[in-house]
Amino acid sequence: MPSDYQTRALSTEPRCFSASENDAATGVESSPFVPSGSGSSLGRRPLARTQLAFLSVGGFDWKPLRAGQMALGGRGLGRLRCLRSRRRSCFLLTLISLTFATFIFCEFLVYFFVIFQCSWPEVKPANSSRDNQTPEAVLKVMFLSDTHLLGELRGHWLDKLRREWQMERAFQTALRLLQPELVFILGDVFDEGKWSSPQAWAADVERFQHMFRLSGHTELMAVVGNHDVGFHYEMDSYKLNRFEKVFNFTSGKLISRKGVNFVLVNSVALEGDGCRICSETEAQLIDISSQLNCSRQERSRSSWSRGCRGGRTRLPASAPLLLQHYPLYRRSDAECSGEDSAPPEEKNIPFKERYDVLSQEASQKLLWWFQPRLILSGHTHSACEVLHDGKIPEISIPSFSWRNRNNPSFILGSVTARDYSLSKCLLPQEKRVLTVYGAAGVALLLLLLGHFRLLAPPRRFARYVIGKRKAT
């Protein structure tokens, strides 16, 4: 039967005690061997009973240890164990904190840091000719393109998770920081709209509405792209109608906000082969052109009555902004520049009409019908600025998704009835985000190696080499 001292030693968990607390608890000094005589031969006092009981825990036959080790006693060893436990806890806390901080920065804060540097361009609102005291209102518009939400056929779950999370965080951060009044997506909203079954289409639409959810004062519109309904030979009324139902889009649509006219064009239908959808689209565009031409005429009663009565709604007398997916005809991206333009090896590749860009005939029709002051397009996934007829600028907007380019971006526009000003807002680069993750991974690995003393042998070897060189 164990003694009372042994029972207490076995049943009590070790705590962190100071040396004085150890002596008070055991009733003896901390040293296991105490000199009891003088001269060459010294007598030794045996260990305290509690210390002996501690050393017999588990049935082990402990041999006498060195004096420095034996001096610790039972509660001294418990103190060491407690200190080691605290070190482990601090180490685990360091690992968790570093991992958590890296994740929060790369998945949330980096979007705030980058988009916070963007701002709305300034445009000097000209005073109205009729009322010099009332300045023209400035409309804040955000343009983006080619989001390419993946579907069930080609989209890997990890690819979906990574790229769609990037677009969601970028869009929601831009909404919070910039607060646009109007957002346009210039086609290819979905990647597999041309193949999607009704069930897959409904699921894709639901994901889109969650990712690009809006605040109360922001309005979103989209134009159709070839991935939404297919190229000309794949497009049909069913695919077009379900896109129009979701985005309230027609093949030719005119909207006016704060005196600014926007013409939304189904550029996929401008094939020029006389197909039914193509003919309907051209008829809608011609009607919009007629409305705009009437709005530009002098608003005297006589001129309006001659050609522009007929129950037409009077529109702002403002040259429109033309929004479409396909760019107008250009030979290639050879003249395009900027960090988000096409790669050098792709710039000189000739474009195919009706595939990469609109045909020359369709491009001239749009310029002649609308005489726009600005054209914005997508489709190429790269940035480009060109001038048509020496006076009409066109801006191709890069893709908004990491899946299509490393450095996506969007355009901010401050637009009035007579003027506009644009600026580009770059999003975080995927390679830089991955670099941060890689650096954090290396730091975690070094912490683990240092904690388990796996870095000691290389450190000793380095000291040995340095010492040898100094000796020589």
Q: What is the pLDDT of residue 55?
A: 46
pTM: 0.80
Q: What is the pLDDT of residue 125?
A: 57
Q: Could you give all domains of the chain from N- to C-terminal order, each with its CATH number?
A: 4-83 (no CATH), 118-127+134-300+312-432 (3.60.21.10)
State both tokens at 201.
């289409």
Q: What is the pLDDT of residue 269?
A: 97
DSSP state of 250: -
Q: What is the pLDDT of residue 9?
A: 44
State both tokens at 82.
């407690």
DSSP state of 47: P
* pLDDT < 50 regions, the chain: 5-14, 17-20, 22-45, 47-66, 68, 72, 128-129, 300, 302, 305
